[in-house]
Copies of this chain bind each other. A is one copy, B any other.
Amino acid sequence: MQTRHGENCPLDATVTILSGKWKSIILCRLTKQDQRFTELLRTLPGCTRRMLALQLSQLITDQIIAKDVDTTFVPTKTSYHLTDLGRSLVPIIQSMDAWGRQYITTLDNAEHGTSI
């Protein structure tokens, strides 16, 4: 496992896993409950079939999520869930989300002169 600088920076590895236009939202959804492909697609307005499949497959490659395919029916039912590794990321995801929320309100307040 190498990072993109040749240099060992675990932080960068974590950032890289989370980088991708739809990965944040996908992970927020999966943190709350397992999701079907179409259900994700439906609740991610603007995300195309192709992009959803891409982002999901990258998260699978990184072993953050996994999929279950139920072939007893046609058409097939697929659902995605967090792996153990993915679940170990949840606390960090939550603190990043909380920090982002705080960050946004801080900038908003500064912008509207509401600080001090």
Whether, in the assembled complex, A53 has its beta carbon less than 8 Å from a beta carbon of chain B, the answer is no
How many protomers of this protein does the assembly include?
2
| Residues of the B chain whose Cβ atoms lie less than 8 Å from the Cβ of A99 | 10, 14, 88-89, 92
A100 to chain B, nearest CB (A): 3
Bound-complex Cα distance A79 to B96 (A): 27
- The answer for the CA separation of A28 and B10 in the assembled complex, in Å, is 10
Residues of B within 8 A of A92 (CB): 92, 95-96, 99
Chain B positions within 8 Å of A91 at CB level: 95
Q: Number of contacting residues on A, CB 8 A?
A: 46
Q: Is A75 an interface residue when CB atoms closer than 8 A count as contact? A: no
Please name all residues of chain B whose beta carbon is closer than 8 Å to the beta carbon of A95 when the two chains form the complex.
91-92, 95
Write out the residue numbers on chain B whose beta carbons fall within 8 Å of the beta carbon of A24: 9, 11-12, 15
Residues of chain A touching chain B, judged by Cβ–Cβ distance below 8 Å, are: 1, 4-7, 9-15, 17-19, 21-25, 27-28, 44-47, 63, 85, 88-89, 91-93, 95-104, 106-108
